[in-house]
């Protein structure tokens, strides 16, 4: 029997921002890994104290600490966990860092290198921790799982990781993201006072999302050539320029800021929008683009980082900082119904290339490479 231990301390059962991102990836892996792994494999997921996680085919091991606060999680992972581990054949560090004192074969998932590409968005201490410990972990790991080719490229370029050591495991999307009945969408718009036609952005309000460029392009369009714009998501670091740009152009009445959107409402938001706009300059994967396509919503996104991998030939990809390109793209989205119909159909086809079953299978394949006896321990 092969015993795999998965550090899942970033798995949350509470509503809010932590139920997206890394939490969602860990959740989907714990759902799908037992379904695709060899029958004689056993999985143990390590979570914080009080986390009532239950997954079929997964043993749950709770820590003696509530590891929700980052400081306590780091304390547990580095100072306590190495001495409390079961006899795993392989340890999976679910997010960037493994214990320094770990003496077991190990793989690690790296989602992105934002802390190196955009170091200013983190405190100096957090930046130093992630840079130092991620680099150490990647050097010691038998395999590294990257969620996109873009992240793999960054690992090679910025951390000097050998390309042959990295396995790309693209993400998937949940079945709740699908085209919904028109009557349900119409009712949702009415209940939320949304117009029949509007454009939607979804994500944190922060600099790397490039929303100021979007607002500047939007402001250049005549009022009769643009739709109401919804910028949905919680405030991130340095979000003030976004609000300043809205005020500078007098767009308070046409740009809505509903704040954080809970996961269960996202399919209705995607379905209700005429176009999903995601101008980000850096993403580990770009899951909102995939979710929007799966809902049948035309997408406009940037042509950098991992976003072209997700969008493929569907929708429209634009240079993130070329203002004229965004003005033209928005104008086309407004006027060209044929483009919207083609983008909708192409997006539905593109989205079907990604699913969590494939993510889990690729993860198992990476585990198998790490477990090959011919590969020496680092």
- pLDDT (tens digit, 9 = 90+) per residue, 45-65? 999 998 989 999 999 999 888
pLDDT at residue 375, as a whole number? 39
Q: Residue 274: helix, strand or coil by DSSP? A: coil
In the block, tokens 């209705």 appear at 268
pLDDT at residue 13, as a whole number? 64
pLDDT at residue 84, as a whole number? 78
pLDDT at residue 122, as a whole number? 74
Residues of the chain with pLDDT under 70: 13-20, 121, 373-378
How far apart, in Å, are the Cα atoms of 294 and each of 7, 211, 373? 30, 23, 41
pLDDT at residue 43, as a whole number? 97
pTM: 0.92
Quick one: DSSP state of residue 353? T
pLDDT at residue 16, as a whole number? 45
pLDDT at residue 123, as a whole number? 79
Q: What is the DSSP string of 161-193?
A: --GGGEEE------TT-S---HHHHHHHHHHTT
């Amino acid at each position: 029997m092969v015993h795999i231990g998965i550090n899942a301390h970033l798995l949350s059962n509470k509503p809010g921002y932590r139920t997206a991102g890394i939490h969602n990836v860990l959740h989907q892996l714990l759902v799908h890994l037992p379904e695709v792994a060899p029958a004689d494999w056993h999985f143990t997921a390590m979570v914080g104290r009080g986390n009532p996680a239950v997954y079929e085919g997964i043993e749950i091991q709770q820590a003696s600490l509530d590891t929700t606060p980052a400081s306590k999680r780091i304390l547990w992972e580095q100072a306590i966990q190495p001495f409390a581990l079961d006899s795993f054949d392989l340890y999976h560090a679910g997010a960037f860092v493994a214990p320094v004192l770990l003496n077991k074969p190990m793989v690690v998932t790296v989602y992105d290198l934002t802390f190196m590409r955009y170091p200013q968005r983190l405190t100096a201490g957090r930046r130093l921790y992630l840079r130092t410990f991620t680099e150490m972990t990647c050097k010691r790991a038998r395999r590294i799982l990257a969620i996109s080719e873009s992240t793999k490229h960054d690992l090679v370029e910025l951390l000097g990781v050998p390309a042959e050591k990295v396995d790309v495991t693209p993400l998937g999307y949940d079945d709740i993201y699908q085209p919904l009945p028109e009557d349900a969408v119409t009712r949702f718009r009415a209940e939320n006072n949304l117009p029949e036609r509007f454009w939607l952005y979804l994500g944190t309000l922060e600099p790397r999302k490039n929303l100021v460029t979007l607002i500047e392009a939007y402001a250049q369009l005549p009022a009769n050539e643009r739709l109401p714009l919804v910028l949905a998501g919680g405030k991130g670091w340095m979000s003030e320029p976004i609000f300043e740009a809205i005020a500078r152009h007098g767009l308070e009445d046409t740009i809505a800021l509903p704040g954080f959107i809970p996961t269960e409402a996202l399919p209705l938001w995607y379905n209700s929008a005429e176009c999903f706009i995601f101008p980000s300059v850096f993403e580990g994967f770009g899951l909102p683009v995939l979710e929007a396509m799966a809902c049948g919503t035309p997408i406009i996104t940037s042509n950098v980082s991992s976003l072209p991998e997700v969008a493929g030939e569907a929708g429209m990809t634009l240079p993130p900082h070329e203002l004229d390109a965004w003005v033209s793209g928005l104008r086309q989205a407004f006027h060209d119904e044929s483009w919207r119909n083609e983008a909708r159909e192409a997006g539905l086809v593109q989205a079907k290339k990604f699913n969590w079953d494939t993510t889990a299978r690729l993860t198992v394949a990476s585990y198998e490479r790490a477990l090959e006896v011919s590969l020496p321990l680092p």
